[in-house]
Structure 1
Amino acid sequence: MTKRKPSDAHEPVEAPDHLPKPVADVWREIVASNDLVGKVDRVALETYCTLTARLREARGRIEDEGMVVTDTRGKVIPHPALAVERSTAEQIRVWGDRFAPLVKPTRKSGYIADATARTITEAKHLHGARFAGPVAALKTLAWMIDEAQRDSMEALQKAMTTTVPQYLKACAELQVTPASIPGVGVPAAVPAEGDAPADESKPEGASVTDFQARARARRSG
């Protein structure tokens, strides 16, 4: 019995040799667009690729020969490939998004997201696969704060009571310095005996109102 190598889980899924070229081409397209590696239902993937290749062939014939053709009796009839196209499209639709190309979302640049990304890059203790999940979650929270600023005052006010506290908590758990968010402070350290008391004056832009005003200015600008 042949054992699979551990590296197989990270290798691309190669098309079987017995596949016709059109089907193999679809296989490679799907694997590349979905970053498929390692274990995958090859029978299901082969079936899906075969259907897709068949659909393309039917559409190609219709494009080359037209929507109607003449039968053996000289009668004009719909092209038989139309029925193949319709039937195959229905079968592919049943599969849903199982092997549909992934659409990777793009995120707008924002102050909180950019500052958080720089902080994470500088935090060497977060490098490695172990912290990939928590780091991704922190970046998402930072992006959500920026999106709230771009959206509306209502969204921003909601973020100040939900997303922002979650963001600060995640920063604390990952031991990174959070991006400066006006209106959101961190507990002040208790001064040691003999030290001068910390300046308790309110810094500029340290209220929720100031935060909202800045967000409004960014949107209008």
Structure 2
Amino acid sequence: MTTPKTPKTLSREAAGWWRKLQAEYDIADEAGRLLLQTALESFDRMRECQGAIKKDGQVVKDRFGQDKPHPLLSAERDARAQLMQALKALNLDLEVTPHPGPGRPPGR
């Protein structure tokens, strides 16, 4: 089976994820590919927001000179949620290696 073409709407980073996930999971159905594209477009949106927040800072001044959270913080959060929701719909949940005992793993 041939790997489907990478959607032109994706950034270079997201296109790399497309190729990697296609190679690993062989998402062959149209609905699955659409979900993957949606996930990666959300990934791109999240990255764009992160870039603007990094440039401007997490706190910006409003028109009255008062500090307020960067307006893109909520857009970043929403894009991350959309990404995770689409990956979950594809059954591509991130697997976390369990560690023995309660609490955080050592060294973190």
Q: Deviations over 1:10-61 (max 9, x none)?
A: 11122133x14355344234324x3425444332221111111111222232
Tell me the secondary structure at the aligned position of residue 84 of structure 1: helix
Identify the match of residue 90 of structure 1 among 40, 63, 81. Answer: 81
Residue equivalent to 2:68: 77
Matched length: 92
Given the two structures, how large is their TM-score scaled by the length of structure 2?
0.63
**Aligned-partner Cα distance in 1 for 2:93–2:4:** 15
Contact preservation (8 Å) 2:10, 2:40: no
Q: Deviations over 1:42-82 (max 9, x none)?
A: 32221111111111222232233221112233221101121
Residue equivalent to 1:43: 34
Residue equivalent to 1:100: 92
Tell me which protein shows more helix as a share of its residues. Answer: 1
Change (3 A) 1:15 1:87: same
Change (3 A) 1:49 1:38: same
**Aligned-partner Cα distance in 2 for 1:102–1:40:** 22
- Please report how far the alpha carbon of residue 91 of structure 1 lies from its aligned counterpart in structure 2 after TM superposition: 2.2
Identify the match of residue 28 of structure 1 among 6, 15, 19. Answer: 19
Identify the match of residue 52 of structure 1 among 18, 43, 65. Answer: 43
Change (3 A) 1:85 1:74: same
Gaps of 5+ in 2: 96-108
**One-letter code aligned to 2:92:** A
Q: Larger radius of gyration, structure 1 or 2?
A: 1
Given the two structures, how large is their TM-score scaled by the length of structure 1?
0.35
Tell me the secondary structure at the aligned position of residue 69 of structure 1: strand
Change (3 A) 1:39 1:93: closer
**One-letter code aligned to 1:89:** R
Moved over 6 A (4+): none
**Aligned-partner Cα distance in 2 for 1:59–1:99:** 26
Q: Percent identity over the alignment?
A: 28
